[in-house]
């Protein structure tokens, strides 16, 4: 297997997509954004679980319109962990 074969046949778009999502997630963790958003969402704790789920689904749906699905999951997962 040669480097030229890898360049021509390797799915670089997948690597860039996953890498970008992980970079966004790492940046959100290191900057404290995940913890801050989790703290802001902690105010929802008084609502029912169904209401919290509906609000989070709307937020995540809006986020996927702006950034890729893998980046959204990489970004939202630490926020939801901070929320618990």
Residue 28 lies in a domain: no
Residue 39 lies in a domain: yes
- The closest alpha carbon to 31, from 72, 80, 84, 79, belongs to 79
CA distance 74 to 68: 10
Asked if 53 and 44 touch (Cβ cutoff 8 Å), the reply is no
Domain that holds residue 68: 34-84
Q: What is the count of structural domains for the chain?
A: 1
Residue 47 lies in a domain: yes
List C-alpha distances in Å: 10 to 2, 22, 23, 29, 44.
12, 20, 21, 30, 44
Residue 68 lies in a domain: yes
Asked if 34 and 79 touch (Cβ cutoff 8 Å), the reply is yes
> What is the chain's pLDDT, residue by residue, as a tens digit (84 residues)?
888 888 888 888 888 888 887 888 788 889 988 788 878 877 887 888 888 889 889 989 998 898 878 778 878 887 777 676
Question: Is this prediction's pTM over 0.85?
Answer: no
Residue 18 lies in a domain: no
Residue 7 lies in a domain: no
Asked if 39 and 47 touch (Cβ cutoff 8 Å), the reply is no
Residue 19 lies in a domain: no
């Amino acid at each position: 297997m040669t480097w030229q074969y890898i360049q021509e046949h390797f799915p670089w778009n997948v690597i860039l997509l996953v890498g970008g999502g992980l970079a966004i997630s790492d940046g959100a963790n290191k900057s404290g954004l995940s913890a801050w958003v989790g703290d802001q969402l902690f105010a929802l704790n008084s609502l029912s679980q169904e209401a919290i789920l509906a609000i989070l689904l709307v937020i995540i749906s809006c986020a996927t319109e702006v950034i890729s699905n893998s980046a959204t999951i990489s970004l939202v997962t630490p926020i939801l962990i901070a929320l618990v």
